[in-house]
Amino acid sequence: MALDFVGIRSIAAIPLMGESPKGGWSTEIKPDDSVHTLIAVHTDAGITGLGSVFTNGGLVEAALKVLQPLYAGENALEPERVSEKLHQNTFWMGRGGTLTHTISGIDIALWDVLGKALDQPVGRLLGGTYRKRAKPYCSLLMDEPEPLAETIAVYREQGFRAFKIGWGPFGRRGDSKLDEAIVRAAREAVGEDSQLFVDAGASDAYWPNGLRWAINTALMLADYEVGWFEEALRPDALDDFCELRRQSPVPVAGGEVLTRRQSFTPWLTRRALDIVQPDATKVGGISEQRRIAWLADEFGVRYVGHGWNTALGVAADLQLAAALPHVDLVEFIGGSAYVDGLLTTPFALDAEGYIEIPSGPGLGVSLDPSKVSRYSPNASALILS
């Protein structure tokens, strides 16, 4: 007899710290900072679902206390309904902030529960399987030209055939010649047969450049066959993004700082982006990400997910890549312990630089508690006591 109700028994936060990778921010992340948090949804059927949140662990723990009366005893087999219930009843506390980010992780975990209960991968439950593998683009921080080229060479040797370089000194020193030298070095290092994307990182604090810089830089990037120009302007500069897209010979990408589908509507209706990049670990989870991706498709805007922060974020993006018709890329941060060092079976590249989309139940991946314990004092919360 099929399950029709699986109650949520408890939800735990597992903050990650000790090997937090740099973000390129002006106030840089330290290894011991908590900026990524795992979520474990425990149910009365003994099924545990796993999710990920791009937020400080202490904030996630506080949010779970606020949300607990709303999710306690709920049906874990209904992720979209339960997540929307959490959104609808907490928006007045600050839609888009810690609560929204935390709901994102809960939603991912509920989809994992549903897949495990039905013995199906999340991608199939989202409507179908368009592909069995996706190409990860290795996301690396920019550096001076020579060390950047050396770093890229390491990951190219590992088998990556798509790369994104971002943040670092790019656009931050008022030196257009340095910016071009960085991009030139990257293009030479990745080779003509690999894709290259550039992320200015203008969501950084006190970003110094405006529209004119972005237009001039886009013209330069076109000379190096850059696939897209990401976060070229401050994240709320909607009018400037519209003008940049009008003038740029390179596709314009953005949206990682936006949360919930409502925030994306003006960016799509105003034709501000060629590529939209919501992050499942803060936008509202898989439920919200899917709605944004399909809405973008209606406007002819390409969707590429931004769930690079942990192995579970990557797993969520891979399942979405399976379930959407025009998605062939997923972001994959290079050299992060929270991506490479948490799973019982780590992600692996095939000979063509692709990752097989997990076909097992739920997200299709399993955390190794002993590995997680290296980076979290609360790893035991993965297992219901």
Beta strand residue intervals within 271-364, DSSP E: 275-276, 302-303, 329-333, 355-356
DSSP, res 362:
B
- What pTM, to 2 d.p., does this model score? 0.97
| C-beta separation of 41 from 76 below 8 A | yes
Question: Tens place of pLDDT for every residue, the chain, 385 residues?
Answer: 468 999 999 999 999 999 998 888 888 889 999 999 999 999 999 999 999 999 999 999 999 999 999 999 999 999 999 999 999 999 888 888 999 999 999 999 999 999 999 999 999 999 889 999 999 999 999 999 999 999 999 999 999 999 999 999 999 999 999 999 999 999 999 999 999 999 999 999 999 999 999 999 999 999 999 999 999 999 999 999 999 999 999 999 999 999 999 899 999 999 999 999 999 999 999 999 999 999 999 999 999 999 778 999 999 999 999 999 999 899 999 999 999 999 999 999 999 999 999 999 999 999 999 999 999 999 999 987 6
Domains of the chain are 8-121+368-382 (3.30.390.10), 124-356 (3.20.20.120)
Residue in 5, 41, 18, 7 with CA at minimum distance from that of residue 383: 41
How are beta strands 8-16 and 162-166 bridged, if at all? unpaired
Distance CA(6)–CA(273), nearest Å, equals 40
Distance CA(358)–CA(211), nearest Å, equals 41
